[in-house]
Amino acid sequence: MVDNQGDFKKNLRGIAFKALKATLKGLIFYALYFFSWMFLAPISEAIPGFQQTIETFVMVYIFLIILGDLTSDTIFQYFFSAAKALFVICYLILSLNGGMYNVTFQNVNLIVDLRLLLSIAVLLGLLGFAKSVIQAINYMNERAEYRQPGNVMGNP
């Protein structure tokens, strides 16, 4: 009975530590957003909807960071990491309209081609996605090796 209570306390401390770590990461990320917004505020006056786009991105990204930290040391950590990478890719593509950005100011229509920058960002996002998938495969491989004592070939 004492061992079960000791394990419960250990697990409770681990969960509390994970929650504290996730909260601190979320707060640090939000503080970085808050301080960097001071420099981006003049841009939001020229581009309509810029602030809402950035705030939506930051909220979802922080949510995925918190979920990833709460599920650390499980396979779900890698699922949320992969979801974070895919979210960044999809959000960049959707928010930049596929790389062609049109801005109309008074009687001037400005078209900015961001396809090269977008393709580089998407490739970096795919690299992060691939890293998450490989980490998930490695995690499952390590768990399978840990559970299977004895011969490597599977012979008794």
Name the token pair of 121. Answer: 């960002």
How far, rounded to the nearest angstrom, does the alpha carbon of residue 86 sit from its chain's CA centroid? 8
Output the pLDDT for position 150: 56
Name the token pair of 21. Answer: 């770590």
Ranges assigned E (strand) in the chain = 100-105, 108-113
Backbone angles phi, psi at 55, to 5 degrees: -65, -40
Residues in the chain: 156
Low-confidence ranges of the chain (pLDDT < 70): 1-3, 148-156
How far, rounded to the nearest angstrom, does the alpha carbon of residue 105 sit from its chain's CA centroid? 35
Q: How many Cα atoms occupy the beta-carbon half-sphere of 82 within 13 Å?
A: 13
Output the pLDDT for position 1: 47
In angstroms, the CA 133 to CA 127 distance is 10
DSSP 8-state assignment for residue 47: S
pTM: 0.77
Output the pLDDT for position 73: 86
Contact at 8 Å (CB) between 97 and 111? no
Output the pLDDT for position 138: 94
Output the pLDDT for position 148: 64
CB neighbours of 99 closer than 8 A, spacing ≥ 6? 113, 114, 115, 116, 117, 118, 119
Output the pLDDT for position 114: 86
Output the pLDDT for position 60: 93
Map out the domains of the chain as residue ranges: 2-147
